[in-house]
Structure 1
Amino acid sequence: MTCWCVTARPYSHEVPPALPPRDRAPRLRPLAGIAVPLAVCGVLAAILVGRETGWAGFAVGLGLALLPVPVLVLTFRWIDAVLPKPPRTLAFAFGWGACVATLIALFANGLLVRALSGSTATPAPSHADTLEMTVIAPVVEETVKAGAILLIFLHRPEAFNGVLAGLVTAGMSAAGFAFTENILYLGSAFDQDVEWGPVSPWDSATVVTFVVRILVAPFAHPMFTALTGLGFGLAAVVAPDRRALRFSLPLLGLAAAMLLHSVWNASTSLSFLGFGAVYGLLMVPIFLGLGWLADTARKRQLRIVRRTLPVYATAGWLSPEEPAALGSLGSRALSRRLARERHGPVGARTVADYQAAATTLALLRERADRGVAGPDFHTRERALLGRLWRQRAVAAPPTVAAASTRRGGRLGPV
């Protein structure tokens, strides 16, 4: 195991002043440079879907497609609780899936079907044939959804610290894609019901589509793309000099996502018994396996925080009580609440940023101990330590108080 020295800073109750409010103006231009193209793609995708479903069908599909979105977003926020990603990163991943990936898929699916089969395809599910469902759609859709993961992996490497980062990024991109695709499928089903006249609820294409896509399989797309995210997440923790492995893991994950997507699409054309067999024997176990993996990875991150941060407490960067509090989700939540009571929303945000910096530092240190942190370890470590030290005035007291409270002690002043 590699031994890394930590620059000592004697701990003192005299902590540096809190940071002044951040100036958000310099960030507006880069955000606009991302948001505007996403919005343009979203408008174009909406026009294409609306032309296919009719605008009444579009409105119905939009309303129904919104229902699972909060559940999906909250699920991925739960997975990401130990080291939450910035909201703008999650918003980009969702927007990419909902706008860019969907727009590309709408064009590419039809072009490839026409090129390979000579027939004309439209986005509507009623026109999909076996080739489109089982080969073209899985390849195209998983590739375009993976675009968000690749961009964040390359341009925001600090946001990619392992398996959880891959799962969350992939899940948000796929949730966005599923949202727009659900508008198309549900809107087309509604348009079909209107065209065919009144039917009983169980003969309604809208009801059947809603049950399958919203109630039975709302996590289908996120589960497919999670396999791609898993590949990227594993690649992120591989030593930088192992380039072949870092390159092949995302490709293997993408191939697995395409295969699972293909099997799922093929199962929808089977009998009810065949569909149920695929759902119960393949989809449910994979979903549970990914859930177990996410929970295990969360617990491992918290263990790393508790095990690694004491070295910084010994060196004086943290107080002795803080590693245990920073390694507990309950204590973290209590710390933010105490800071909010004393300093308002700014205090809660400062504590959340303090917790993120401490967790990032612990994970970086653990990678350094395994010899896979890379040559810029010391630069990144010093930057994170400086970030912690500047926030101590606001963040350290509620963190220490939360540690005492969780141990059953009395709540001290914050």
Structure 2
Amino acid sequence: MHPSPFPQQPQQPPVPVYEPQPRFHAVPDRANWRYRPRRAFRHSKALRFGTVITLLALCGLVILALVREQTGTEGFLAGLGLAVLPVPLMIAAFRWLDRVEPEPWRNLAFAFAWGACAATLMAIIANGFATDWIATRVEPSSPTEAQTWGATVIAPVVEESAKGAALLLLFVFRRRDFDGIVDGVVIAGITATGFAFTENILYLGNAFGEDQALGSSGIQSVTAATFFIRIVMSPFAHPLFTALTGIGFGIAALATTRQRGRRVLVPLAGLLTAIVLHAVWNGSATVGGLGFIAVYGMFMVPVFGLLIWLVIWSRGSELRTVRGQLPAYVAAGWLQPPEPQALSSMRARSLARSVARRHHGKDAARAVAEYESFATTLAFLRQRAHRGTAGADFVAREQELLHHLWQRKDVAQPALAHAALITAPPRVPPQWGPHGRPAYGPGMPPPYGQGHGHAVPPQHGPGHGPAAPPPHGQGQYGQGPHGQGQYGQGQYGQGHAAPTDFRPPYGA
């Protein structure tokens, strides 16, 4: 027997059999139940958490003392007040990019604290030692030349490596929260925002002290110029550099278990690219004038635009993953047929939360948001199982997510069904020809009963061909005021029941 010339695709893990009531062993009757893998030490998680908090707090105290020593008390307060201005906007922008499956707040808090405290402390110490070494060993022609070498050669390597350490730690110890390029860019951006925040305090504080010594004030002051360059023109500079490292870790997160080289080489390539771009940026700042403007327009702006396009494309890919993975749970009976389409649309998600809040209050809206988050995590978990990277605890984690979905389905499923109805593409009625058959002109879509994946859904019927439009009073989404429609039979297969929880308040 000759081996098959086609490579074998990894098989999807089986979906748990639907039951009227989930029967999971050792699951307490508690809404906040969480799966916790077994560990060698019961308190190892608390110990690690306490150790990380202590180290970051110590780094924060040391960096606070160093910055205050260099800027003085007045300069520190002035720099702090000005440096904090772009932080909420930057964090809000990265949180907006991360709306499909938001990162846990603990990961983002760690990333910001690492960038603001640990990475900045390492950069200040390493840059200071490196500049002194260049000044004493290399013997440059002037102290300014030593600072230029430190800014363009040493600082990019030290700073990008220090910020990239946060990505490495989260990639290793929070691997299940690291799903792709979007997560890498978001974590990198939050880390770099914290780093830029502390660095801006130092630069703005020193500029304020210089103005105080010279008696300068107003628009022509050093503080105003520093604020314009660092806060207005380039608040995204550090996030842009570190995001290249985040893209490398995001691509590594998508690799299979057999692609070990990809997991190592791609993050290193991303880090090297970030270092090079950072060095070019610092070099242009030391040149000043037209060199700075040329680098800003020829490198920074195009790279920033390319990064935004890549992140938006990756977010669309995440939504396509949700749409492609969740129908398996529809076939098993855990989800209702409209849900994969609704959960793969950001507009439908927002609409479902708004409907739940309007009819049942904030608690219902929170339940719908949690339902959307758990369903998205379930889709990504199944995708990782398909790639062979889900881990040995896949079944237990899948049961955990199904457990949380089951607890919130009474509120979330009607809202999502309503959102799917509202956001569905408009149906184009067929042009009826002789003998009761639909007639199509040039440029019109093919008949309803042919093909797969057309924008025009099949009408409710036996599934053997096109059917006439439903009579007045009947619609798409099930029993009740909308009649009986396409989700009973047809597009989603034979035997799936229409959503019985479709309540009149949502469909009215």
1:380–1:22 distance in 2 versus 1, CA, 3 Å = closer
In structure 1, the partner of 2:212 is 194
Aligned equivalents of 1:295 and 1:43: distance in 2? 38
Match of 1:264 in 2: 281
**Is the 1:240–1:374 contact (alpha carbons within 8 Å) kept by the matching residues of 2?**
no
For residues 153 and 7 of structure 1, the distance between their equivalents in structure 2, rounded to whole angstroms, comes to 29
Query: Which one of 129, 132, 146 corresponds to residue 114 of structure 1?
Result: 132
More helix per residue:
1
Distance in 2 of aligned mates of 1:394 and 1:52: 56
CA, structure 1 residues 323+17, in 2 after alignment: closer, same or farther (shift >3 Å)?
farther
- Give the letter aligned to residue 237 of structure 2: A
The 1:339/1:41 distance shift into structure 2, 3 A limit, reads: farther
> Percent sequence identity over matched residues?
48
Which of residues 2, 5, 8 in structure 1 aligns to 2:10? 2
Q: Quick check: 1:35 aligned with 2:53?
A: yes
Matches within 5 A, 1:45-124: 45-118=63-136
Q: Given residue 247 of structure 1, which amino acid in structure 2 is its aligned partner?
A: V
Question: Within the alignment, does 1:291 sit opposite 2:302 as a pair?
Answer: no
Length, aligned pairs only: 403
CA contact (8 A) 2:256 2:387 kept: no
Provide the rounded CA distance (Å) in 2 between the counterparts of 1:219 and 1:412.
48
Distance, in Å, in 2 between the alignment partners of 1:282 and 1:225 is: 15
Separation of aligned partners in 1, 2:324 and 2:262: 28
Kindly tell me: are residues 105 and 412 of structure 1, through their superposed partners in 2, closer, same or farther at Cα, counting changes over 3 Å? Answer: farther
Gaps of 5+ in 1: 120-125
Contact 2:131 2:146 in 1 (8 A): no
1:380 Cα shift?
4.0
Q: Which is further off, 212-221 or 99-108?
A: 99-108
Tell me the distance in 1 between the aligned counterparts of 2:350 and 2:50: 32
- Tell whether the 8 Å contact from 2:116 to 2:191 is kept in structure 1 after alignment: yes
Q: Distance in 2 between matches of 1:47 and 1:397?
A: 55
Q: Which residue does the alignment assign to 2:268? A: 251
Residue number in structure 1 paired with 2:162: 144
1:329 paired residue number: 346
TM-superposed deviation, 1:225: 0.2
Q: Which residue of 2 aligns with 1:122?
A: none
What residue in structure 1 maps to residue 202 of structure 2? Answer: 184
Counterpart selection for 1:20 from 31, 35, 48: 31
In the alignment, the residues of structure 2 paired with residue 19 and residue 412 of structure 1 have an alpha-carbon distance, to the nearest angstrom, of 30
Cα 1:64/1:272, change in 2 over 3 Å: same
Aligned letter for 2:272? Answer: A
How many Å separate the matches in 2 of 1:218 and 1:265? 14
CA contact (8 A) 2:181 2:250 kept: yes
In our comparison, the structure showing a higher alpha carbon Rg is 2
Q: Cα deviations across residues 138-186 of structure 1 (Å, max 9, x unaligned)?
A: 1111111111111111111111000001000000000000000000001
Of 257, 269, 278 in structure 2, the residue corresponding to residue 240 of structure 1 is 257
* Pair 76,147 (structure 1): closer, same or farther in 2 beyond 3 Å: same
- Paired AA for residue 298 in structure 1: R
2:243 to 218, 223, 226: 226
Name the CA distance, whole Å, in 1 between partners of 2:204 and 2:328: 55
Q: Could you list the per-position Cα deviations for residues 50-81 of structure 1 after superposition, in whole angstroms to 9, with x for gaps in the alignment?
A: 11011111111101101111110011001101
- Do the aligned partners of 1:11 and 1:319 also contact (CA within 8 Å) in 2? no
C-alpha distance in 1 between matches for 2:329 and 2:259: 30
313, 316, 336: which one aligns with 1:319: 336
State the 1:355 CA deviation.
1.5
Q: Distance in 2 between matches of 1:341 and 1:276?
A: 50
CA apart distance, 1:322: 0.9
What's the TM-score once normalised by structure 2's chain length? 0.73
Q: In the aligned structure 2, how far is the partner of 1:241 from the partner of 1:381?
A: 24
SS of the equivalent of 2:286 reads coil
Look up the match of 1:123.
Answer: none
- Residue 289 of structure 1, CA deviation: 0.3
Q: Is contact 1:17-1:393 (8 Å) kept? A: no
Deviates more, 1:394-403 or 1:281-290: 394-403
Determine the structure 2 residue equivalent to 1:384: 401
**CA distance in structure 1 between the aligned counterparts of 2:417 and 2:245, rounded to whole angstroms:** 39
Amino acid across the alignment from 1:7: P
Specify the code of the residue in structure 2 equivalent to 1:397: P
Q: CA distance change for structure 1 residues 339 and 294 in 2, over 3 Å: closer, same or farther?
A: same
Shift in Å at residue 340 of structure 1? 3.8
